[in-house]
Amino acid sequence: MITKKEYANRRSGLINMMEPNSIAIVASAPVRVRSKDTLYPYKQDTTFSYLSGFPEPQSVLVLIPSRTQGQFVIFCQEKDQMREIWDGFLYGPSGACDHFEADDAFPITDIDDILPGMLEGRDRVYYGIGKDTEFDNRLMGWVNEIRAQRRRGATPPGEFIDIDHFVNEMRLIKTSMELKIMKNAAAITASAHRRAMRVIRPGMYEYQLQAEIEHEFLYQGATCPAYTTIVGGGKNACVLHYIKNQDLLVDGDLVLVDAGCEYYNYCADITRTFPVNGRFTRPQASIYEVVLEAQAEAIKSIAPGKPYNTANDVTIKTITQGLVDLGILSGDVDDLIGRGSYRDFYMHQSGHWLGMDVHDVGDYRLDQIWRDYEAGMVVTVEPGIYIAPDNLSVEEKWRGISVRIEDNVVLTRDGCEQLNENVPKCRVEIEKLMI
Q: Under the rule (CB under 5 A), what is the footprint of Mn ion?
A: 258, 269, 271, 380, 406
Q: Residue 285 is inside which H or E element, if any?
A: helix 282-301
Select the residue interacting with ligand GLY from 227, 263, 288, 386 (CB under 6 A).
227
Asked if 172 contacts 67 with a C-beta cutoff of 8 angstroms, the reply is no
Closest to ligand GLY by CB, 227 or 266: 227
Closest to Mn ion by CB, 333 or 378: 378
Binding to ligand GLY (CB under 6 A) within 78-117 occurs at none
Q: How many residues bind ligand GLY (CB under 6 A)?
A: 7
Q: How far is the CB of 135 from ligand GLY (least distance, A)?
A: 28
Residue type, 266: Y
- Residue closest to ligand GLY, measured at CB: 258
Provide the Cα torsion 143, 144, 147, 148; round to 10°.
Answer: -140
Q: How far is the CB of 359 from Mn ion (least distance, A)?
A: 7
Q: How far is the CB of 288 from ligand GLY (least distance, A)?
A: 18
Number of Cβ atoms within 10 Å of the Cβ of 319: 25
Q: How far is the CB of 380 from Mn ion (least distance, A)?
A: 4
Of 49, 52, 55, 59, nearest to 109 (Cα)?
A: 59
Whole-angstrom distance, CA of residue 356 vs CA of residue 147: 37
Judged by beta carbon distances under 5 to 8 A according to partner kind, the member of Mn ion, ligand GLY, none in contact with residue 212 is: none
Q: How far is the CB of 362 from Mn ion (least distance, A)?
A: 14
DSSP string, 27-59: EPPPP-EEETTEEPPP---HHHHHHH----SS-
Binding to ligand GLY (CB under 6 A) within 397-416 occurs at 406
269 binds ligand GLY (CB under 6 A): yes
Strand partners, 161: 126
Judged by beta carbon distances under 5 to 8 A according to partner kind, the member of Mn ion, ligand GLY, none in contact with residue 266 is: none
Judged by beta carbon distances under 5 to 8 A according to partner kind, the member of Mn ion, ligand GLY, none in contact with residue 320 is: none
Whole-angstrom distance, CA of residue 161 vs CA of residue 170: 16
Query: Residues 264-286, buried b or exposed e (16+ Cβ, 10 A)?
Result: bbbbbbbbbbbbbbbebeebbeb
Judged by beta carbon distances under 5 to 8 A according to partner kind, the member of ligand GLY, Mn ion, none in contact with residue 195 is: none
Asked if 328 contacts 342 with a C-beta cutoff of 8 angstroms, the reply is no
Phi first, then psi, for residue 271 (nearest 5°) are: -125, 135
Known catalytic residues are 37, 241, 258, 269, 348, 352, 359, 382, 386, 404, 406
Closest to ligand GLY by CB, 64 or 358: 358
Closest to Mn ion by CB, 320 or 380: 380
Closest to ligand GLY by CB, 164 or 269: 269
Each residue 366-385 as x (binds ligand GLY by CB under 6 A) or -, in order, gives ----------------x---
Asked if 28 contacts 56 with a C-beta cutoff of 8 angstroms, the reply is yes
Asked if 61 contacts 48 with a C-beta cutoff of 8 angstroms, the reply is yes
Of 263, 50, 83, 84, nearest to 175 (Cα)?
A: 50
Judged by beta carbon distances under 5 to 8 A according to partner kind, the member of ligand GLY, Mn ion, none in contact with residue 253 is: none
Strand partners, 317: none
Closest to ligand GLY by CB, 65 or 233: 233
Whole-angstrom distance, CA of residue 153 vs CA of residue 140: 19
Q: How far is the CB of 326 from ligand GLY (least distance, A)?
A: 25
Closest to Mn ion by CB, 76 or 379: 379
Q: How far is the CB of 271 from Mn ion (least distance, A)?
A: 5
Binding to ligand GLY (CB under 6 A) within 233-262 occurs at 258
Of 385, 419, 377, 422, nearest to 405 (Cα)?
A: 385
Judged by beta carbon distances under 5 to 8 A according to partner kind, the member of ligand GLY, Mn ion, none in contact with residue 22 is: none
The residues, any chain, with a CB within 8 Å of residue 166's CB and separated by 6 or more, are 14, 17, 18, 126
Closest to ligand GLY by CB, 22 or 271: 271
Q: How far is the CB of 72 from ligand GLY (least distance, A)?
A: 34
Strand partners, 159: 124
Judged by beta carbon distances under 5 to 8 A according to partner kind, the member of Mn ion, ligand GLY, none in contact with residue 227 is: ligand GLY
The residues that touch ligand GLY, with contacts defined as CB under 6 A, are 227, 258, 269, 352, 358, 382, 406
